[in-house]
Amino acid sequence: MIKLQHTHELSPRQCSSFLVQVIDAPLPLVWSLVRKFDKPQCYKNFISSCTLISGEGGVGSIREVNLVSGFPGKKSIERLDILDDDMHVSVFSILDADHSFLNFKSTITLHEDKQEDHQKTVAIQSYVVDIPEISCRDDTCEVTDNILRWNLRSLAWVAENMDTTDDQVSSLDLNKKEIAC
């Protein structure tokens, strides 16, 4: 599945990469955060707000994401292309933006890593993005990798520090009950 989801065909003016983050939290908990297309700010610190402008958060939904000040751009319009609750796959594309991540498409997959008495999640995120005219492949990949690495580390921090001691997690069947952020 990893090869299927994270192999991308590139045009000459595109770059691609993937990142891996091990998260010390059960997969259903992590998935409950990742699958929230309407609330990426739950763990993505570069996002100040998000508004659904079409759909209800499922495949085909479109959101407007407002970025924090200091980021090179103010907003982007994004579409949820794939959301697979069984395989734990989420794919979204940037449709329009006032920043340089044009034709950006991101795939994130989550994988269970069961230890003897502990569950961890392995998050793999890959992307394809156009290389801006004023940039080169290496610089574009480095900037994109850094942003996505920050998002994955933030996802890990949020998931690992969530209070799951009360009934909020209900036996970790989070495909049915999501945790609010």
> Is 179 among the domain residues?
no
Side-chain half-sphere CA neighbours of 107 within 13 A: 19
Q: What is each CA distance from 95 to 61, 63, 143, 152, 167, in whole angstroms?
A: 12, 10, 19, 22, 39
Angle at 8 between CA 79 and CA 59, to 5 degrees: 25
> Is 175 among the domain residues?
no
> Is 79 among the domain residues?
yes
Range of the domain at 109: 2-9+20-161
Domain total in the chain? 1
> Is 66 among the domain residues?
yes
> Is 176 among the domain residues?
no
Span 99-149, pLDDT tens digits? 878 889 999 999 998 777 788 999 999 999 999 998 999 999 999 999 999
Q: Give residue 69's pLDDT band: very low, low, confident or very high (50, 70, 90).
A: confident
Phi, psi of 60 (to 5 degrees): 90, -15
Q: Is the pLDDT of residue 175 over 80?
A: no
> Is 138 among the domain residues?
yes
> Is 170 among the domain residues?
no
CATH number at residue 126: 3.30.530.20
